[in-house]
Structure 1
Amino acid sequence: MRDHVIAVDVGTGSARAGVVDRQGRLLCRREHPIEMRQIGDHIAEYDSEQIWTATCIAVREALAAAELSAERIAALAFDATCSLVLRDAQGKPLALACENGATFDTIAWLDHRASREAAEISQTRHPLLAYAGEAISPEMQIPKLMWLKRNRPDLWVKSGHFFDLADFMSWRATGSTGRSLCTLTSKWNFLAHEKSGWSQDFLDRIGLGDLLTRGGLPQEGVAIGQAIGSLTEKAATELGLGTHVVVAAGMVDAYAGALGVLGSIADQPDALEQRIALIGGTSSCLISFAAAPHFGKSLWGPFFDAVFPGQWLVEAGQSATGGLLNHLLRLHGEGGEPTPSRHRQVIERVQALRQTEGQDFAARLHILPDFHGNRSPFADPNLTGAITGLTLDSSFDGLCRIYWRACVAIALALRQILEAMERSGIRPERLHLTGGHVKNPLLVELYGDVTGRELVIPDTDDAVLVGTAMNAAAAGGLYPSLAAAGVGMAAPSRSRQPDEAKHALYESDYRRFLAMQRHRAELDTL
C-alpha cells in the first residue's frame, strides 16, 4: 500500500528530507549540509549538483531510518529557497565560478548583486510593479537575470534553462521542464490571473525580451497539489525510490511553511483571511491569503493561485532575522560559531539576567535590524542596521544584552510590517509561527507581546516539511485536493496569548525604534 510521501526542504545551509504518513505525522527526518560560496555581503552562490547529491543522501537516510520499503512511497515534493539555477540548452551547469571542484551555477536567494538592476526596474513604474509592492527586490529572479545578461553575456548566449531552485529539483527528478505556479507568480513577475502570464512589454522595456527563449520558460505553470511528472530511472536510483513515485510541482520554502501552519483551515476561506503565517529562519516571511487582491508598497504580491486555488497571496518579510542573530554571535568576541547549542547558552543567560535586572535589562541598547537591507515596509535593499547604546563591555553578558535587544528589534520590525499590511486592508488576528524561530523562546515571547497578537504554534517543529508533504499527498492522490490534504494532515497546535502589561512597556521601545529610523534617514541626507 502506497500511503506515505517524502518531503524535501532545501534551505540556506542544508537539504532536509522527511518521511510523512497520510495523517501528516513526520516519521523520520534526515539532513545533509550544502555549501554556499560567499564573497562579501552581496555575492552568494551554490553548486546545484551538490544540492541534488545532498538531497539524495538525506532521502535515502530518512527512508532507511523509517524502516519503510520504497514501495510504500506514493509521492515526493520539493520546497526550496528562491535561488536561481542556470543551465545550458543541454541541461549542463553554466558556471558563475569554479572553486575546489565545485561548479557554482546557482545564485543564492540572499544574493544582492542585482541591487542596481532592481532599482532600475522599479524606476520604470511599469503597471506590473503593482503586483510586486511597487518595487522589485534584488532577491527576485528578474533583476538577477538582468544582471546576468549585462555582466555575463558569455553565459547568457549559452543559456537554455533558468530554474527557480524548487523547479530545478523537480526537473532533476522527472526530466520535466514544467514550472510551478508557486515559483512563477511569486519570484518571476508572472501574472497567473491574466490570460498571458508573461508581460512581453515589461520584459522588452528592461532589456529581457528574449528571456522566455533563453530560459526555456513555459506559458503556463503547474498548480500546487498537481503532479509535474514521475521519477526517471536515474533519479529513482539516486534517491533510492521507485519510478512509480509522483513528483508534485515545487514550492517556495516559506509558502510550504504557510501551507503547513494554515492547512487546517484551507477549506475555510473566511478564517484564512484572519490569519498570517510567520515563517522564521535565516530571514522571516509573513504570508496572508484572501479572496480579493490587496495591494501595498513593499508587499510582495498579490499573487494569484500561488498556493491555494482561487486565493490571492501577499508576502512581506525581513531579510535577516535568524541570520542577524547568527551574525552577532560571529561578530562578538564572546560569540563564536552560531550553533544551536551556542544559541541556547546565550538564551538561557538572557533569561537569567532578565530575572535579575527586570525591565531595566539592556534598556538603553537600541538596534535597527536592517543589516541586509529592508524588505518591508521600505523595500530598500541598501538600508543598513544600527546599534546605539554600546559601552566598552566585551564580556559574555555584554553579548547577551546585544542578543536580547536584537530579538526585541526583530519583533518591533515585525509590528511595523503588520501595521503596513493592515493599511493595505489585511486584518490579521493571529500569527501562526513556524521555522527555526519556534525553538527560540525569546522570539516566541516577543512576537506575541510586542505585536499584541495571539500566537499559534504547531506541535510539530517542522511545519515546512509537513506543508511540502501536503503538496505531495495531493499530487500523489492520497487526498482529492490540496485543501483536503491540508485539513487531513494538519498538526495540532497550541496558542499563546500576549502579555498586555508587557505590550504596553514595549510601546516606548517602538517609539525609539521609529525615531532611530527617522534619524537614519536624516543622516543619509547630510
Structure 2
Amino acid sequence: MPGAGETLVGVDIGTSSTKGVAVSPGGRVLARASRPHGLSLPRAGYAEQDAETDWWQGCRDVVRELVEAVGAGAVRGVCVSGTGPCLLPCDARGRPLRPGILYGIDTRASAEISELEAALGGDEIVARSGSALSSQALGPKLLWLRRREPDVWSRMASWHMPSSFAAMRLCGEIALDHHSASQCDPFYDLAAGGWAEDWVGDALPGCPLPQLVWPGEQIGAVTADAGVETGLRPGTPVFAGTIDAWSEALSVGVRRPGDLMLMYGSTLFVVQVADGAVSAAPPLWCTQGVEPGRPSYAGGMATAGTLLAWWRETLGAPEWDAVLAETAASPPGARGLLALPYFAGERTPIDDPRARGVIAGLSLQHTRGDVMRAAHEAIAFGVRGMLETLGRAAGPARRIVAVGGGLQGGLLAQIVSDVAGVEQLVPEETIGASYGDALLAAIGAGLVEREAAWARVIGVVAPDPDVGTVYDELAPLHADLYRATTAVVHPLADRQTADGGT
C-alpha cells in the first residue's frame, strides 16, 4: 500500500508552456505549476525552440515549485513528456548544438522526404514503419541535419526529444521510449518493435541511436547535480515519458480498443487505440502506443488554438470572453463564410505542407464575429475529416474523450460536436499530459496497478441536431474549397518559402 504523503511528479513540455503536477497515488492533484516559453519561427516552414530555456529551464523550475509544495521526501518518482517528434542534436557532454526542430508544424525537410521515398520506396516505408513520410516524421529531419548542417552532424553524439532531453538532465541516461521512436519514420520497424538499423545505416551512416524503453519504465535516478537544480532528492526514480498527446490520452482513460482522445491545444490532435495490429492507412500515423500490445492510429491538425489566437490578434478583438460572445452571436455557417485553417500547412487528413489559410464569401455585411465563427468552424471541419479518416481505418470510435485548453468556454467543443456529429466526454481533470506522466510514474514505481485509471467523466458535449443539417450541407463545400484553391495557394506558399529563405 502507498505510504502517507507519497507523491508522483509529472511534467509536460508543451508548445507554448511547461506544466507540471504533483499527484497522490489515488489521483488527487496536490500541487500545480507552469511556466510559459517561446516558439521561434525563423523563416517560412521552420519551427524551433531553445532546449536550454524552453525545455530544460521550464521543466527545472516547474519541478522545483512542485517539490517545494509537497516536500522532496514525498516524491517517489518523476516522469516528463513533451511535444514530438522533435529533433535536438547534442554533443558528447549533452549540450545542445542548435535549437530543437519541432514536430509536424516544421516543414523544412520536404526535399528529404522525397529523397528517402526515392531511396527506400514509398510503399516499403509505409509497410515497415506504418506511416507515409510527412512533415510529422523525424527521419527526414535527421537527413536534413546531415545534409544542411554537416558541422552539427559531425559533432552530434546523441539526439533528443523534449522528454528524453529532460530525462537526460535529470538522471544522466540517454533513452527514448518506443512510442516516440515509432514516430521517427522511416527508421523504426513497427512490426519488429525496434530501430530499422539497416535503413539507418544506409541513409544516416554514423547516426547514434538511443536505447529504447517503454513509457513508465525506470531509466535512472536523479543525479546530485539535478537534485541541486530541481530540489528533488538524489536517487529519486526517473521514469520514461513519451510524446505529450499519448500521455494525455492515458491520463483520461483512453487505453482500450476503440477509445479516442480529441485534444484541443495550440494544435489539435486525435489518438485512437487500435484493436490488435495496425494496418498502414496514410495520411494517418500508425504508431506504438503507450503500453506494449496496444498500438494506435493518430492524426493532427497543424493549427487550432494558434489559429484562433492569430485571428483574435489580427482583428483587434477584445478579451476572450468578448470574442466568444461575438462568435456565438454569429449563426451556424457564419452567415455564408467558409474558411480553411491551413495557416501552417496541414498534416491530417490532407497531408499538404503547402496548404495555406483561405476565407471565402466575405461581404461588407460580415462582422468580426462572423469571421471568428468561420475560424472555429474551419477547425471543426478539420476534425470531421480526421474522424472520418480514422473511422475508415480503425472503425468508428467507441468513445471520444475531449481534453485540452480549447475546452475553456465550451464554444469550440460544441461547434466540433455539431459539425462532426459526435458526442464528446469531458473528464474531471483536463490538466493534460502531466497528469498522465504522474500516472506513468505511479505505475512504474509500483504504487498502483498497471490498469489503474484516474479519469472520471463529469460532462458530455452532445451535437445539436437542429444545426447538424447546416454543417452537412457545408461539408462538401469546405472540401471543394481546398481543392479549388490549391492551384493558387501552392505557388503562393512557394513564394513565401522563397522570401523566407531555404
Closer/same/farther in 2, CA of residues 422 and 131 from structure 1, 3 Å limit: farther
Distance 1:412 1:131 in 2: 31
Alpha-carbon distance, 1:133 to partner: 6.1
Letter in 1 for 2:20: A
Alpha-carbon distance, 1:524 to partner: 6.4
Closer/same/farther in 2, CA of residues 343 and 125 from structure 1, 3 Å limit: same
Is the Cα contact below 8 Å between 2:299 and 2:386 reproduced in 1?
yes
Distance 1:426 1:210 in 2: 41
Alpha-carbon distance, 1:151 to partner: 0.8
For residues 167-187 of structure 1, give each alpha carbon's deviation from its aligned partner in whole angstroms, at most 9, with x where no partner exists.
111111111112211211123
Match of 2:473 in 1: 508
| 2:40 paired with 1:37 | yes
| 2:436 paired with 1:467 | yes
For residues 279-317 of structure 1, give each alpha carbon's deviation from its aligned partner in whole angstroms, at most 9, with x where no partner exists.
11111111011223132120111x23x312211111111
Q: Which moved more, 1:110-119 or 1:274-283?
A: 110-119
Alpha-carbon distance, 1:188 to partner: 4.8
Match of 1:294 in 2: 279
Letter in 1 for 2:422: R
Calculate the TM-score normalised by the size of structure 1: 0.86
Letter in 2 for 1:80: G
| 2:248 paired with 1:257 | yes
Alpha-carbon distance, 1:137 to partner: 2.0
Distance 1:283 1:222 in 2: 27
Alpha-carbon distance, 1:71 to partner: 0.7
Mapping 1:375-394, distance limit 5 Å: 375-392=347-364
Is the Cα contact below 8 Å between 1:132 and 1:300 reproduced in 2?
no
Distance 1:174 1:239 in 2: 12
For residues 305-364 of structure 1, give each alpha carbon's deviation from its aligned partner in whole angstroms, at most 9, with x where no partner exists.
x312211111111111111112222332x237xxxxx3232002222x24xxx44x7321
Q: 1:274 aligns with which of 258, 262, 275?
A: 258
Count how many residue pairs are aligned between Structure 1 and Structure 2: 482
Is the Cα contact below 8 Å between 2:216 and 2:241 reproduced in 1?
no
Match of 1:223 in 2: 214
| 2:42 paired with 1:16 | no
Match of 1:329 in 2: 312
Alpha-carbon distance, 1:34 to partner: 2.0
Q: Gaps spanning 5+ residues in structure 1: where?
A: 96-104, 267-271, 337-341
Calculate the TM-score normalised by the size of structure 2: 0.90
Distance 1:286 1:154 in 2: 37
Is the Cα contact below 8 Å between 1:454 and 1:498 reproduced in 2?
yes
Match of 1:99 in 2: none
SS at match of 1:35: coil
Is the Cα contact below 8 Å between 1:286 and 1:317 reproduced in 2?
yes
Distance 1:292 1:382 in 2: 32
Mapping 1:86-485, distance limit 5 Å: 86-95=89-98, 105-109=99-103, 110-123=105-118, 124-130=121-127, 134-191=131-188, 193-195=190-192, 197-204=194-201, 207-211=203-207, 215-218=208-211, 221-263=212-254, 266=255, 272-290=256-274, 291-301=276-286, 303-304=287-288, 306-332=289-315, 334-335=316-317, 342-351=319-328, 353-354=329-330, 358-359=331-332, 362-392=334-364, 398-481=367-450, 483-484=451-452
* Percent pairwise identity: 27
Is the Cα contact below 8 Å between 1:429 and 1:453 reproduced in 2?
no
Is the Cα contact below 8 Å between 1:6 and 1:19 reproduced in 2?
yes
SS at match of 1:243: coil
Closer/same/farther in 2, CA of residues 250 and 405 from structure 1, 3 Å limit: same
Closer/same/farther in 2, CA of residues 525 and 400 from structure 1, 3 Å limit: closer
Letter in 1 for 2:419: V
Letter in 2 for 1:233: A
Alpha-carbon distance, 1:132 to partner: 5.6
SS at match of 1:186: coil
Letter in 2 for 1:31: S
Alpha-carbon distance, 1:165 to partner: 1.5
Match of 1:98 in 2: none
Is the Cα contact below 8 Å between 2:21 and 2:66 reproduced in 1?
yes
Letter in 2 for 1:184: A
Closer/same/farther in 2, CA of residues 190 and 73 from structure 1, 3 Å limit: farther
Distance 1:149 1:224 in 2: 29
| 2:42 paired with 1:58 | no
Distance 1:344 1:120 in 2: 48
Match of 1:100 in 2: none
Is the Cα contact below 8 Å between 2:129 and 2:189 reproduced in 1?
no
Is the Cα contact below 8 Å between 1:133 and 1:299 reproduced in 2?
no
Is the Cα contact below 8 Å between 1:135 and 1:379 reproduced in 2?
no
Distance 1:13 1:132 in 2: 30
Distance 1:130 1:61 in 2: 46
Q: 2:460 aligns with which of 489, 495, 498?
A: 495
Is the Cα contact below 8 Å between 1:9 and 1:464 reproduced in 2?
yes
Match of 1:84 in 2: 87
Is the Cα contact below 8 Å between 2:82 and 2:244 reproduced in 1?
yes
Letter in 2 for 1:496: V
SS at match of 1:38: coil
Letter in 1 for 2:414: E
Letter in 2 for 1:378: I
Closer/same/farther in 2, CA of residues 187 and 345 from structure 1, 3 Å limit: farther
SS at match of 2:394: coil
SS at match of 1:7: strand
Is the Cα contact below 8 Å between 1:141 and 1:187 reproduced in 2?
yes
Distance 2:430 2:375 in 1: 23
Superposition RMSD on alpha carbons, in Å?
2.3
Q: Gaps spanning 5+ residues in structure 2: where?
A: 492-502
Letter in 2 for 1:60: R
Is the Cα contact below 8 Å between 1:74 and 1:244 reproduced in 2?
no
Is the Cα contact below 8 Å between 1:321 and 1:410 reproduced in 2?
yes
Letter in 2 for 1:299: L
Is the Cα contact below 8 Å between 1:429 and 1:454 reproduced in 2?
no
SS at match of 1:262: coil
Is the Cα contact below 8 Å between 1:432 and 1:455 reproduced in 2?
yes
